[in-house]
Each structure stands twice: as structure tokens, then as C-alpha cells.
């Protein structure tokens, strides 16, 4: 019986990144031996145990065999005869198929160290194509490691395209698509996630509302990048820069311009009313992927109201108040912060505008504070009742916003 550190812990140490999770594989052991040593069983589909002291995961070495379509269609086999090399062979990418023994010696049968040095995401074996979730994982790893110069190997990209052509991606359940997407939106370069999905053909299958943005022109004086898909990639990466690890802001950025794909050809490159047109496809996307309610709700507000945020200095005080109330910003200032971050990402996610200031954000926060400082108590004391209180409160809050100076 021998145990090895495997997967992300080894990969991240070699990359000089913080090691978050430490997973181990155990060779030459049976479940009964693990239980006798005090390990706690947690695996449902195959034997996984928690160490009695460190609580780290220890999985018995196993092989897997494809038995049906989709990512559920697998049979697992774990017993003391399964070798370390056989266990590593079932993993997705070579950089995740490196093991390390108790002495720090690496076991690297599939040349993961070389691919780390060459900055390549490469599949371990043709069995990769049997699990459609792996396509999403490659795209997500691309979003994580693109800033380090990683790219998807040509042969792996060809395999991803074949998986799409074979219909494997059609069997992905919404929960898994959303789980991987959510993680990708929290990575350092989410644009790489879209690029891999698009290059493989999976974007059109999984996110047709997003795929439709590519090739749609915008007015060059406002969007030097012209292509709406390119703009979206810039916005996603700016959102990741402004709010690292925040998938809520990332999802708002992803969906903010969906309406531009619906602009009639004879109107292009103008996009009149795109902010309202985008609500319907956003709702379809959010429902299909079973996106959390707050993600869907705030993304809809960003979609519908981001132009109002951009022209905040031109709005009437009553309109500013209406925007704040729509966001529930007086009670939930953090929600306003997420909204404004997504709007700033949109404004700065344009070719040549990454370093632009966005004074609208600070001013709208000040407007929120001014409005929130006015409460109903004074109007109740004056003897107002019912709707009269709400009307007076709204007028007073708008007046407070009107007093704010603008840049």
C-alpha cells in the first residue's frame, strides 16, 4: 500500500501557485484496509476516504470504462491490482496527471511536467472524449492559465471539435454546465473560456445567445473593436480584473449585451434599444442553465440599465432614484456595487479604453447615500399617512440627489 499526492496540488506547486486542495491516490489497498486504518469513507460512486487526522482526500486507484452517453455513463473499477499509471491515465489533462511520492519524487508517465514547461493543455488519452464535462474543464483551465501563456494543444482542440460533432456535448445537464461556467467566470481571463468553447463549436450548442454576438458590428467611434463578441471578451476580462473571483459580476458581464444579436441588419451598426431587447434571451439562458436567482436578477438589471449608469450625469434626479430603487440599493448597497462594477467593466472593456476613468460609479454611490439618509420618520411626524408618505419621501430623496455636484 502506497499513497501519492496527485492532480492540482502537484500541478500548482510546479507552477509556483498556492496549493489549495491536496488529493491523494492510494495504490495496493482495499476499502477494508482503509477502514481498519481509521480512514472515513465519503465516496458514493467509488472508494474515497478522508484521512483520520488531516481530513485530506485519499482515493483508491481506479480505472473507468464507458458504458453510455454523457458523463454519467461510466463504470469504475477499484482494487489493489490497479496501478498508479492506470489511475493517472483516466485523468483529463497531462498537467493534472502527475503524482508525487512521500519523498517528493514525481511520477509523470504522460509528460505533464513537459507540458507545464511548454504551457500546453493536452489530453492524456483518447478516453478524454468519453466525458463531455472535460470539454468545459479544458475551457475553464484555459481561463485560469491563459495569463501564464497556456494554450490548448492542436490535437486536443481537434478532439474537442469531434466531441461536439459526435453530440457528446448535447448530453451535458444544465447543473454541470453552470457549475463549470461559474468557475470559469471567476478565473483570471474568462475570455479564454469563450474562445475555447467557440473554437470547438460548443459555444453555439451551450450558449447560442452568446455565440450569436460574434460577427455583429458596433459603431467604431464608440467601440473601436467593432465586433460585439470581441467587446464581450474584453468586458469579461475587465470584470475579472475589477472584481477578481466574483462570478456574479462575471455573469452580469457575460449577459449585458445579448440584445445586440437581435438588432435588425438594416439598423446595424447602431443598436437602438438593445438593452431592453437583451432581457428575453437572458431569461432563456438563465432558465436553461438553472442560474441562481440573484445572478439572473442582477444580470437582468445590468442588461436593462447599464446605459443609464453610463449617462448618470444626464439623468433627472427622479430617474436616478428610480434606478437606485430598481436595484434595491438603499437597502442593499453591496448590490449597487456589483451592478456598478459590471457597468464599469462594460465601459472600459473596449479597445483602447481599458484605463478610462468611470466617475459615474462614485457619483451613483453618493446618490445612493444621499437618498438613503432621508427616511420616512419626519413625514410621519408631520401627520402624513399612506401613499402621501411615499410621495413625500420620493420627492425629498430626489431633492437630496439634485444637490449633489457632478464632475
Residues 244-260 have pLDDT tens digits of: 999 999 999 999 999 99
Question: Helices 133-145 and 191-200 meet at what angle, rounded to 10?
Answer: 140
Is pLDDT above 70 for 105?
Answer: yes
pLDDT classification of 68: cutoffs 50, 70, 90:
low
**Which pLDDT score, from 0 to 100, does residue 78 have?**
75
Percent of the chain with pLDDT over 90: 81
- d(CA 121, CA 114) in angstroms, rounded, equals 11
Q: Hey, what's the cell of 118?
A: 511548454
Angle in degrees, CA 172, 176, 179, rounded to 5: 150
Which are the contacts of 302, defined by CB distance < 8 A and separation ≥ 6? Answer: 252, 253, 255, 256, 339, 342, 343
* Stretch 31-38: mean pLDDT: 90
Is pLDDT above 70 for 240?
Answer: yes
Least confident of 47-51, 237-241, 293-297, 300-304: 47-51
Which string of b and e fits 131-148 if b means at least 16 CB within 10 Å? bbbbbbbbbbbbbbbbee
Q: What is the DSSP letter of 70?
A: S
**Which pLDDT score, from 0 to 100, does residue 80 have?**
86
Q: How does the average pLDDT of the chain come out, rounded?
A: 93
Is pLDDT above 80 for 66?
Answer: no
* Fold held by 1-110: Beta Polymerase; domain 2 (3.30.460)
CB pairs under 8 A, 24+ apart, for 210-215?
Answer: 210/254, 210/258, 210/285, 212/261, 213/257, 213/258, 213/260, 213/261
Which are the contacts of 152, defined by CB distance < 8 A and separation ≥ 6? Answer: 120, 121, 138, 142, 160, 196, 199
**Which pLDDT score, from 0 to 100, does residue 389 have?**
87
**Which pLDDT score, from 0 to 100, does residue 402 have?**
96
Is pLDDT above 70 for 72?
Answer: no
Is pLDDT above 90 for 330?
Answer: yes
Angle in degrees, CA 195, 200, 204, rounded to 5: 80
Is pLDDT above 70 for 70?
Answer: no
Greatest Cα-to-Cα distance within the chain, rounded to the nearest angstrom: 84
**Which pLDDT score, from 0 to 100, does residue 71 have?**
52
- d(CA 327, CA 365) in angstroms, rounded, equals 12
**Which pLDDT score, from 0 to 100, does residue 45 have?**
66
Please state, as a whole number, how many other Cβ atoms lie within 10 Å of the Cβ of residue 250: 29
**Which pLDDT score, from 0 to 100, does residue 383 have?**
77
Is pLDDT above 60 for 74?
Answer: no
3-state SS class at 100: strand
Least confident of 40-54, 275-289, 296-310: 40-54
| DSSP strands (E only) in 98-248 | 99-100, 106-107, 120-121, 151-152
Which are the contacts of 130, defined by CB distance < 8 A and separation ≥ 6? Answer: 66, 73, 74, 168
- d(CA 184, CA 191) in angstroms, rounded, equals 9
- d(CA 371, CA 102) in angstroms, rounded, equals 61
**Which of 57-61, 198-202, 372-376 reaches the highest mean pLDDT?**
198-202
Is pLDDT above 90 for 386?
Answer: no
Least confident of 73-87, 167-181, 182-196, 361-375: 73-87
pTM (predicted TM-score): 0.91
- d(CA 35, CA 286) in angstroms, rounded, equals 43
Amino acid at each position: 500500500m502506497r499513497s501519492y499526492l496527485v492532480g492540482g496540488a502537484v500541478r500548482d506547486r510546479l507552477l509556483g501557485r498556492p496549493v489549495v486542495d491536496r488529493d491523494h491516490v492510494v495504490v495496493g489497498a482495499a476499502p477494508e484496509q482503509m477502514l481498519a486504518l481509521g480512514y472515513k469513507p465519503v465516496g458514493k460512486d467509488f472508494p474515497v476516504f478522508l484521512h483520520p487526522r488531516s481530513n485530506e482526500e485519499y482515493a483508491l486507484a481506479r480505472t473507468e470504462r464507458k458504458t453510455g452517453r454523457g458523463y454519467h455513463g461510466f463504470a469504475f473499477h477499484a482494487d489493489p491490482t490497479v496501478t498508479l499509471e492506470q489511475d493517472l491515465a483516466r485523468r483529463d489533462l497531462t498537467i493534472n496527471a502527475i503524482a508525487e511520492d512521500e519523498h517528493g519524487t514525481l511520477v509523470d508517465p504522460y509528460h505533464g511536467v513537459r507540458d507545464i514547461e511548454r504551457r500546453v493543455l493536452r489530453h492524456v488519452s483518447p478516453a478524454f472524449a468519453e466525458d463531455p464535462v472535460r470539454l468545459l474543464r479544458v475551457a475553464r483551465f484555459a481561463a485560469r492559465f491563459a495569463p501564464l501563456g497556456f494554450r490548448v494543444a492542436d490535437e486536443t482542440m481537434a478532439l474537442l471539435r469531434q466531441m461536439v460533432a459526435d453530440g457528446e456535448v448535447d448530453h451535458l445537464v444544465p447543473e454541470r454546465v453552470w457549475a463549470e461556467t461559474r468557475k470559469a467566470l471567476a478565473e483570471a481571463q474568462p475570455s479564454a473560456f469563450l474562445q475555447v468553447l467557440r473554437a470547438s463549436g460548443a459555444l453555439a450548442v451551450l450558449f447560442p445567445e452568446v455565440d450569436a454576438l460574434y460577427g455583429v458590428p458596433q459603431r467604431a467611434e464608440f467601440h473601436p473593436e467593432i465586433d460585439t463578441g470581441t467587446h464581450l471578451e474584453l468586458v469579461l476580462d475587465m470584470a475579472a480584473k475589477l472584481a477578481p473571483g466574483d462570478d456574479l459580476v462575471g455573469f452580469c458581464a457575460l449577459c449585458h449585451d445579448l440584445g445586440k444579436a437581435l438588432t435588425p441588419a438594416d439598423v446595424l451598426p447602431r443598436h437602438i434599444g438593445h438593452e431592453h431587447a437583451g432581457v428575453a434571451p437572458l431569461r432563456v439562458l438563465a432558465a436553461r442553465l438553472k442560474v441562481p436567482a440573484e445572478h439572473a436578477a442582477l444580470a437582468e438589471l445590468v442588461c436593462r440599465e447599464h446605459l443609464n449608469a453610463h449617462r448618470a450625469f444626464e439623468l433627472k434626479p427622479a430617474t436616478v432614484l428610480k434606478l437606485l430603487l430598481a436595484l434595491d440599493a438603499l437597502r442593499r448597497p453591496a448590490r449597487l456595487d456589483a451592478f456598478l462594477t459590471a457597468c464599469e467593466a462594460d465601459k472600459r472593456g473596449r479597445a483602447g479604453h481599458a484605463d478610462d476613468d468611470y466617475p459615474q460609479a462614485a457619483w451613483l454611490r453618493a446618490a445612493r447615500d444621499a437618498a438613503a439618509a432621508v427616511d420616512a420618520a419626519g413625514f410621519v411626524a408631520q401627520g402624513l399617512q399612506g401613499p402621501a408618505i411615499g410621495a413625500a419621501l420620493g420627492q425629498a430623496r430626489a431633492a437630496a440627489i439634485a444637490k449633489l455636484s457632478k464632475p
